[in-house]
């Protein structure tokens, strides 16, 4: 099996080379015999673009947006380029640890499930803001009610899935509403999501955290919208 890892990147000068190094060293199930890492620079202006030129020399596939379009847009660009059997989304900061890859991938390579989410609420975590946690809980509960699920962390950045899951699905999200749109559309199509505990090292806004209150409202609207429409 081949694994495609998509890394959406926007102004992550302080962490991009470190996370790409961790991705390269991450343990993988023995069934994964090939990998590709696709970093999508979403219009960075802080020197990240220059650092990604170094990463290209080490085999990372780098795609570039001329200007910032949002996380969802960056993921869409990566999805259009992947060639793997399994796809994994990896944020460019250091909040999510690639050492969790075996937990995310093993249920898929064994053929037990097609979609795995890494839950921050089932594993060890650090420095999650209370209001972020509350918004996440509300959004996850809404997801469970609307889509008949029992998730603990819909908004997690760690999502792994078989490439075939996306067949026939059109993703419209441009920003952080990728998480609810992807979740809503795969649940509507009958795919059940398997959750595994992951480590989480939350960062603060002074360290570059970008998601905000407006994104929570956008996520709620996405959940309601895709319950009724496709």
DSSP per residue, 193-220:
PEEEE--EE---GGGT----HHHHHHHH
Here the tokens at position 113 are: 């499930």
Q: What is the pLDDT of residue 150?
A: 96
Q: What is the pLDDT of residue 212?
A: 62
Q: What is the pLDDT of residue 140?
A: 94
Cross-strand partners of 8: 40
Relative orientation angle of helices 213-228 and 130-147, to the nearest 10 degrees: 0
Rounded Cα–Cα distance for residues 58 and 156 (Å): 28
**Domain harbouring 138, CATH code:** 3.90.550.10
CA atoms within 13 A on the CB side of 6: 29
Q: What is the pLDDT of residue 85?
A: 97
Residue given tokens 């309601």 in the structure block: 224
Q: Please, what sign has the CA dihedral across residues 153, 158, 163, 168? A: positive
Here the tokens at position 208 are: 């570059």
End-to-end CA distance of the chain: 31
Domain residues for the domain of 86 are 2-228
Which residue ranges of the chain lie beneath pLDDT 50? 205-208
- How does pLDDT run across 62-104, given as a tens digit for each residue? 999 999 999 999 999 999 999 999 999 999 999 999 999 999 9
Q: How many domains does the chain contain in total?
A: 1
DSSP per residue, 107-166:
HHHTTS-SEEEEETTTS-EE---HHHHHHHHHHHHHHHHHHT---S-TT-S-EEEEGGGG
Rounded Cα–Cα distance for residues 197 and 220 (Å): 24
Rounded Cα–Cα distance for residues 177 and 168 (Å): 19
> CB neighbours (10 Å) of residue 104?
23
């Amino acid at each position: 099996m081949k694994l495609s890892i998509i890394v959406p990147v926007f102004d992550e000068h302080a962490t991009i080379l470190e996370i790409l190094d961790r991705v390269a060293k991450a343990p993988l199930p023995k069934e994964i015999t090939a990998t590709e890492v696709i970093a999508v620079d979403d219009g960075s202006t802080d020197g990240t673009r220059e650092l990604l030129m170094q990463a290209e020399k080490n085999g990372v596939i780098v795609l570039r947006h001329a200007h910032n379009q949002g996380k969802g847009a960056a993921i869409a660009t990566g999805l259009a380029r992947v060639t793997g059997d399994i796809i994994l989304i990896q944020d460019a900061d250091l909040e999510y640890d690639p050492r969790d890859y075996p937990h995310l991938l093993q249920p898929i390579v064994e053929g037990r499930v097609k979609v795995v989410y890494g839950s921050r609420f089932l594993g060890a975590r650090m420095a999650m803001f209370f209001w972020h946690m509350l918004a996440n809980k509300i959004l996850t509960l809404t997801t469970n009610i609307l889509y008949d699920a029992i998730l603990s962390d819909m908004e997690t950045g760690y999502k792994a899935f078989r490439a075939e899951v996306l067949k026939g699905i059109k993703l419209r999200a441009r920003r952080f509403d990728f998480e609810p749109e992807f979740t809503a559309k795969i649940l509507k199509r009958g795919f059940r999501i398997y959750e595994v505990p992951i480590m989480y090292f939350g960062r603060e806004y002074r360290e570059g955290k970008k998601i905000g209150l407006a994104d929570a409202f956008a996520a709620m609207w996405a959940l309601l919208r895709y319950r009724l429409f496709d």
